[in-house]
Chains A and B, each alone.
Chain A
Amino acid sequence: MTANPPSAELATPDPLLSVRDLSVRFDTAEGPVHAVDGVSFDLKAGEILGLVGESGCGKSTLARAILRLVEPRAGSISLAGSDITHLSRRQLRGVRRQVQMVFQDPYSSLAPRWTVAELLTEPLVIHGVGDRAERRRHVGDLLDKVGLPADAAQRYPHEFSGGQRQRLGIARALALDPRLVVLDEPVSALDVSVQAQILNLLVELQRQSDIAFLFISHDLSVVEYLSDRVAVMYLGQIVEIADRDSLWRHPSHPYTRALLQAIPGNPPPSADDALKIEGDLPSPIAPPPGCRFHTRCPYAEQRCRIDNPALRTVAPGHQAACHLMRLS
């Protein structure tokens, strides 16, 4: 009997989503906005990657670039090993079955004059899935999956509360059984108590299948709650990416540490470590040279103003971009 050594391919399967050096620039009257600037990360099948950062740091733009809703200026996006960066709109339509999106404001992404049944069957109609009876049954299944009553099917989006509407948005994103769902601030517009319900729903849905989530929020405590891995974004760049626990216990980037300390009931380990980020996010039109965080970083020194630190591995599966990184 020949023991099969684990092949290299099996050991490191292609990530579901692979983003490399992705940049998105908007040309505006004030000048080019470097909304996303050289972002790279991988997302494995069945994984929840949290993406966190202040409002305006480029999270939505990154999400929209992954869905090819905005054209990247440079870099590549691969889905299950195949490059989708340059597919035409027509070619993309097949790919779209596998990647779906949930928006922050479910009301503005759900056609107001359509019934829930019409909204939830639309993805099936577009991709020619099932006949009428099958589609109707599918609507029932989807409503059940996201915890809405079956009689919701005949109602209109405005008849639902914010949390219920977000359940509708999630149900529609799940209609085609995608492999990846990008959720852009799906709970940011909701009351805290409702946020928890939606987060629990997402955790449960993810446990039932091997679906992967890219979960975006400006709130680290929300991201921390459900993510396997967390990426921290600052001014268009990822400054730290790590497994959730590793990030929580050993945050390496001063910005991550400040975000963690800003979570209520999460005091700094010692007074020396107390960190507070002051001032506004600099403009992405003229980002600071060197480390983009140096204008707000209490540890900034001369080289920070000249050299932009690259992401370096601090621990297995843990990378951060800071010149003064404390290796743990």
Chain B
Amino acid sequence: MAFPDSLILSADGTGSHPRFALLRRLLRRPSALCGLVLMAAILAMAVLAHPLYPDDPLDMVAAPFLHPGTDAAFPLGSDMLGRDLAAGIFHGARISLLIGVVAALVSLVIGIGIGALSGYYGGRIDAGLMRLTELFQTIPPFLFSLAIVAILQPSIATITGAIGITAWPGLARLVRAEVLKLRHSELVEASISLGASDARIILLHILPNVLAPIVVSASILVASAILSESSLAFLGLGDPNVVSWGGMVGAGREVIRTDWYVATIPGIAILAAVLALNLLGDGLNDALNRKGQRR
């Protein structure tokens, strides 16, 4: 293994350094390992996109409708305009990951912030913030982002913002419930009686104990953001200047009967990314919850 020996723990993960125990438990789960490998592959594609395909993936570089495997220079073939599908998949990974991760971060910041303040302070602050959360929850998040993007014109920034700003209510409720459980715990009362400030208590004593559900939600948030971005692009609301898996599926839709691969290949990429993140989320959930029980 790659860890220094002193950090490797007893088999049940009850040694002295909890972080590595978690990684080991995660790696022992076949589904989580699968998710991790898939995610690593997608990440590698994103990183290798520019070195391998330095040109704009939207350029027409080949004959149209080159089926996969017929030309070694274009292993995944080309679409109706002669664009290299492999280049599109690699560059699309960059866009999907970028939008997925940044949108999830936006949701995390809003969701954790609102959930933590709501749960910690209770009372009127809680009532107000929960009213806001309910307001956001009355509109389906995808339709909400669709409306925002349609009004603001699609670009990477508006798409990311629109997805991030609509996906947080579930997380906010989850964080609020967890914070509420800890609010009157001895851990927090001990900190208050030491004279700690509210910010210190929330950041150092409450949120680290809520990390497990947050980490799990984060991977699901990235997955659903990737799916939302693809769906927007499929509906023609992607950034027109960049290639996107969803946009590729949308373009290939019209020729699905004759040239199935044009829509199917990017479709598989979307599926792989979403599946990988869900497997990872599941694995993290199991691994972290077992630790929770030990506490």
Q: Main SS of the interface on chain B?
A: helix
In the complex, A67 Cα to B208 Cα: how many Å?
25
Closest to B184 in A: A69
Range for the number of chain A residues in contact with chain B? 20 to 34
In the complex, A149 Cα to B197 Cα: how many Å?
31
Residue B257 at the chain A interface, CB threshold 8 Å: no
Count of chain A to chain B residue pairs whose CB atoms are closer than 8 Å in the complex: 60
The stretch that binds A, out of B31-39, B83-91, B188-196, B278-286, is B188-196
Q: Is the CB of A159 within 8 A of B189?
A: no
CB distance from B196 to the nearest CB of A (A): 5
- Residues of B within 8 Å of A89, CB to CB, are 198
- Residues of A within 8 Å of B195, CB to CB, are 92-94, 96-97, 123, 126-127
CB neighbors of B among A98-133 (8 A): 99-101, 103, 105, 108-113, 122-123, 126-127
Q: Is the CB of A109 within 8 A of B194?
A: no
Range for the number of chain B residues in contact with chain A? 20 to 34
- Residues of B within 8 Å of A67, CB to CB, are 189, 192-193
Q: A69-B192, A97-B195, A113-B208 are in contact. Are A159 and B185 (CB under 8 A)?
A: no
Indicate which residue in A69, A155, A172 contacts B16 across the interface (CB closer than 8 Å). Answer: A155
CB distance from A124 to the nearest CB of B (A): 10
In the complex, A108 Cα to B198 Cα: how many Å?
19
In the complex, A97 Cα to B192 Cα: how many Å?
11
Residue B187 at the chain A interface, CB threshold 8 Å: yes
CB distance from A217 to the nearest CB of B (A): 17
- Residues of B within 8 Å of A97, CB to CB, are 195
Q: Is the CB of B18 within 8 A of A113?
A: yes
Residue B290 at the chain A interface, CB threshold 8 Å: no
Q: What are 6 A-B pairs at a CB distance below 8 A?
A: A69-B193, A109-B186, A110-B190, A111-B205, A122-B196, A123-B195
Please give me the 8 A-B residue pairs with the lowest Cβ-Cβ distance, nearest first. Answer: A96-B195, A109-B190, A109-B186, A93-B195, A108-B186, A101-B193, A123-B194, A103-B186
Chain B interface (Cβ within 8 Å of chain A)? Answer: 16, 18, 185-187, 189-198, 200, 204-205, 208, 295
